[in-house]
């Protein structure tokens, strides 16, 4: 058995502790060899139905004004900044902030000042306004006594006051698609959204569900598989 004096033992333990991060650091700077690409992998495309806003407009040519609906988060607004802040403040270790009324009070009453409006959203709204369509917003956000989301959308999407329908807060119920009934009630003919639930709601009532891409840096993960439900997907709709 080796005998260390107490100071010598402490010194050797300290030396061992200090050498560990140095070893880990060396390992971390070893880079893997690049996998490389071929023209086949570069040209790989998913066989989905891409459309442009112009093509959607052309497909509606000659049809009378209709009701259309939009999801909000990651469809019209890049609202991850507010959701990110909410998670940090109300439940940094899990998703329970989404069930916390205190979070929704903040999110629905001002934090959309940090939401970036999506260009594709503005283009779609302008197209539908020009057609004379009735535009509805249906969100899975929880309802609050007051809200500024409608006002934010009116301002950022350029909607005239007399044509603004206040946001419908459908809420989120486990095992239930809360948007379906609203699509039915308002007789919407098209519903736009980034999530599977948006497209499924449209398909459930037999109308056109059109997908917008969720931004790659959205905090809402995992990213959905756009086009996987056979729906149309708008090109360049991640911003």
Q: Which residues are catalytic?
A: 71, 73
* Min dist. Cβ of residue 167 to Mg ion (A): 13
Q: Are 170 and 178 in contact (CB under 8 A)?
A: yes
Rounded-to-integer distance, Cα 199 and Cα 130, Å: 24
What lies within 8 Å, CB to CB, of 195 at 6+ separation is 71, 74, 214, 220, 224
| The two three-digit tokens of residue 233, written as one number | 């997907």
Rounded-to-integer distance, Cα 130 and Cα 126, Å: 6
Q: Are 164 and 154 in contact (CB under 8 A)?
A: yes
Closest CB to Mg ion among 28 and 216? 216
Rounded-to-integer distance, Cα 77 and Cα 71, Å: 9
Binding site for Mg ion (CB under 5 A): 71, 73-74, 194-195
Closest CB to Mg ion among 131 and 143? 143
* Min dist. Cβ of residue 130 to Mg ion (A): 24
* Min dist. Cβ of residue 100 to Mg ion (A): 19
Closest CB to Mg ion among 194 and 232? 194
Closest CB to Mg ion among 73 and 231? 73
What is the sign of the dihedral through the CA atoms of 137, 185, 49 and 176?
Answer: positive
* Min dist. Cβ of residue 138 to Mg ion (A): 10
């Amino acid at each position: 058995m080796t005998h260390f004096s107490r100071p010598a033992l402490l010194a050797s333990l300290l030396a061992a502790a200090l050498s560990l991060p140095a070893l880990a650091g060396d390992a971390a700077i070893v880079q893997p060899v690049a996998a490389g690409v071929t023209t086949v992998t570069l040209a790989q495309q998913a066989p989905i139905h891409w459309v442009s806003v112009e093509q959607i407009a052309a497909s509606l040519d000659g049809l009378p004004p209709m009701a259309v609906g939009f999801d909000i988060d990651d469809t019209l607004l890049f609202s991850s900044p507010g959701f990110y802040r909410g998670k940090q403040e109300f439940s940094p270790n899990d998703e329970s902030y989404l069930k916390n009324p205190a979070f929704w009070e903040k999110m629905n009453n001002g934090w959309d000042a940090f939401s970036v409006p999506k260009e594709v959203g503005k283009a779609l709204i302008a197209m539908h306004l020009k057609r004379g369509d009735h535009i509805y917003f249906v969100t899975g956000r929880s309802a609050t006594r007051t809200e500024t989301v409608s006002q934010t959308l009116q301002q950022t999407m350029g909607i005239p006051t007399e044509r603004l329908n206040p946001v419908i807060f459908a809420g989120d119920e486990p095992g239930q698609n809360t948007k379906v009934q609203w699509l039915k009630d308002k007789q919407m003919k098209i519903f736009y959204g980034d999530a599977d639930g948006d497209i499924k709601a449209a398909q459930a009532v037999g109308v056109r569900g059109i997908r917008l891409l969720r931004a790659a840096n959205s905090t809402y993960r995992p990213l959905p598989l756009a086009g996987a439900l056979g729906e149309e997907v708008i090109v360049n709709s991640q911003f």
